[in-house]
Amino acid sequence: MTSSKFASDYDLGTRRAVTPRGRGFELVVTPRYEQHYLEQSYEALSADLTVNLLHGRELFVDVGAHCGFFSLLAATAHPGLQVVALEPVDENHQLLVEGIRRNGVEGRVEAVRAAASDLPGTGRFCIAEASDNCSFYPHVAAAPLRTEEVATVTLDSLLAGRRGIERAVIKIDTDGHELAVLAGLADTLHAAEDLRLLVELNPAMQRQAGHAPEDLLAELQRLGFEIFLLDDWERRFFRLRQPADWKRGCREDAYANLYCVPHERALSVAIFSHSSGLQGAERSLFGSVRMLVQDQGAVCTVLLPGPGPLQERLESLGAATLCAELPWWCDWSPMSAEVVRYREERGLAALRLDVLPRLQQADPDVVATNTLTLAWGAVAAAALGRPHVWRVHEYGELDHRLAFFAPFDQVLRSVVASSNLVVTPSEALRRTLFPDLHPARGRTLGPWVEPPPDGFTAAPAALPRGRARLGILASLVPGKDQATAVRALAELTRRGYDAELVLAGHANAEYGRYLSDLAAELGLAERVLLPGFSDDPYPLLASLDVLVMSAPHEAFGRTGIEAARVGRPVVMAASSGAAEILEDGRDALWFEPGNAADLAAKLVALLADPRLGRQLAASAGRTVAACLSRARLSALEVEVLKELRGAPNPLRRDPVDTLVATLAARGET
């Protein structure tokens, strides 16, 4: 007799539609599952990873679909995707079909009422009290109600000849029957170009089926897969090198999903970020992770100093995030010896007690550090014996006027000595900071700049109109030299042009006051606007007539690329890193850094001839599409990282090595 807890599991008269937490589709469920999907983000890491793995793919197969959470998640997220959902239990199948209809995806989701197995035909199936615990074997967590005969199919026969099968994503959740499902998929696996699997591991149900959990992992490895166990509660990855390693991330009485990647395509990356915000370097990091996960199916673990908008966005990509307070090895003003020692001790403690144990679980192929401000990625890479990439996004002293814990030339030597590869976004930055860097140890790789979100359209620039709107999107710090733009605005008004200047970004308090005072002194108080920082630059860019990039030492200048994406002309300092992409007179207008009169002259040229601005913006759009295409940058990104897999860590005695030696002296490496 069914217990009261499960009384309505098969009562379709009680069914209702819910929108799972954090998702945008409707799921039809019986009452017990309503809170199941509403009170938690169901299998959050697995779901986010699945959505992103399907980017650019044509086929998703959901084996053991139950009421269709993963099938509907995939179909509603990817309008061009075909989905095959297998569910043998009649009541579950009916809920699945109704969910397909409610979400309007009937033409793209095929609901198959059958169980996947190693042979076609029929088999005795155990209907459990809990409708999500039905299986070919009695479930350990729910008593059996009855057995019934169900149709069985092999995935080889069901999927043969379907479009996209060579690069499909297949999710298998069959409570102990996974080995038989894989046996029925053997021909497809042999022929597939890049097939990814998400396989549920339920140790108790593997034993119910008559084999050990290790047998499933051994078979997946025999088939050529590297395996990552997904901890959906803690949002982290466990790399399983040996079949018995599953015990590191899953209890005997629990379950977890296994992400299975063809060995030659597997890539696990750990990235250290100095910030959880969404300024330029952080957006570049997000773009890299997006390409790695969506285009390459890589496993990404990002170390953040704490919660913030970057964490939320990274998790939406199916990346794991770990928060730990790792202090910078620099500051906005010089540090005393006592402060340096305190930061070293605090960082070493966090690394030893928190970060390294969690990174060892992820077992990355490569460790990367994002920006000059943080040294702990290099320390962790050395401690783990993994290759290290240092992505340098800034000049350090010249642009942000940062004060480091050692003389800056020593810091730069340390960056090179502790890295297998130093990556800069522009040749100008590389030549300035690392003029003697061996070509094999350095790469110039511009960041992928995300286009505006789907549905975003920018109206053409409004020039000529009553008041021209100029803008700079950058932190308000002396190194960005907004003061030159304020003086150029004064020159424009002196010549009779009606214009205003928007200075958008996080403000250094002292420099922000200086800019406000300068504007007031020049009679421009109501023409210089300081709206603060915006997570999304595109609405603000679309409101401008001209984007100005005034920083004399701009490592890249991604706002110039963003402006090109919304058809806005750019006037930039000739020394900007973006000048290596946007040519003077063709894609943008250059001015002499720090020369307000020259900047004003270039702005006058645009204000006097709106057609010139449209021509420059159109050409810049074509240049960006050719030089900074996602396909090109994604291929380069993964090429750089895969070249380093298995390379030894290069660390020698230097300031970073001192920290590693301290760690080793304590018996932690």
pLDDT digits (tens, 9 = 90+) for 530-539: 999 888 899 9
> What class does CATH assign to 268-448+644-665?
alpha beta
Of the listed ranges 310-314, 336-340, 637-641, 661-665, the one predicted with least confidence: 661-665
Q: For all residues of the chain together, what is the average pLDDT?
A: 93
* Sole residue written with tokens 């969690």: 358
264 exposed, middle or buried (CB, 10 Å; 0-12, 13-18, 19+)?
Answer: exposed
How far is 177 from 155, CA to CA, in rounded Å?
13
Model pTM greater than 0.85? yes
Over 80: is that where the pLDDT of 459 sits?
Answer: no
Over 70: is that where the pLDDT of 660 sits?
Answer: no
8 A C-beta contact, residue 16 and residue 38: no
8 A C-beta contact, residue 213 and residue 246: yes
| pLDDT bracket for residue 461 (50, 70, 90) | low
User: Tell me, what's the pLDDT at 451?
Assistant: 87
Q: Which residues contact 597 (CB under 8 A, 6 or more apart)?
A: 488, 491
Q: Which residues contact 4 (CB under 8 A, 6 or more apart)?
A: none
Reported as half-sphere exposure (CB side, CA atoms, 13 A), residue 191 has a value of 11
How far is 149 from 66, CA to CA, in rounded Å?
17
Task: Give Rg (Cα) of the chain.
Answer: 28
User: Tell me, what's the pLDDT at 657?
Assistant: 63
Tokens of 376: 């702990």
User: Tell me, what's the pLDDT at 655?
Assistant: 54
- Whole-number Cα distances in Å, 569 to 102, 449, 613: 45, 17, 5
Over 80: is that where the pLDDT of 136 sits?
Answer: yes
Q: Give residue limits of the domains in the chain.
A: 4-265, 268-448+644-665, 468-627
Over 80: is that where the pLDDT of 464 sits?
Answer: no
- The CATH number of 468-627, from 3.90.850.10, 1.10.3720.10, 3.40.50.2000, 3.30.9.90, is 3.40.50.2000
Query: 3-class SS at 393?
Result: coil
Over 50: is that where the pLDDT of 469 sits?
Answer: yes
CATH topology of 4-265 equal to that of 268-448+644-665? yes
| pLDDT bracket for residue 1 (50, 70, 90) | very low
How far does CA 640 lie from the centroid of its chain?
17
What's the mean pLDDT in 258-282?
95
Of the listed ranges 44-58, 81-95, 216-230, 504-518, the one predicted with least confidence: 504-518
Mean pLDDT is highest, among 27-36, 78-87, 648-657, for 78-87
User: Tell me, what's the pLDDT at 61?
Assistant: 98
Over 80: is that where the pLDDT of 641 sits?
Answer: yes
Structure confidence by residue, pLDDT tens digits, 351-403 = 999 999 999 999 999 999 999 999 999 999 999 999 999 999 999 998 888 99
CATH T-level fold of 4-265: Rossmann fold (3.40.50)
Q: What are phi and psi of 580, to 5 degrees?
A: -75, -15
* Sole residue written with tokens 């990174």: 359
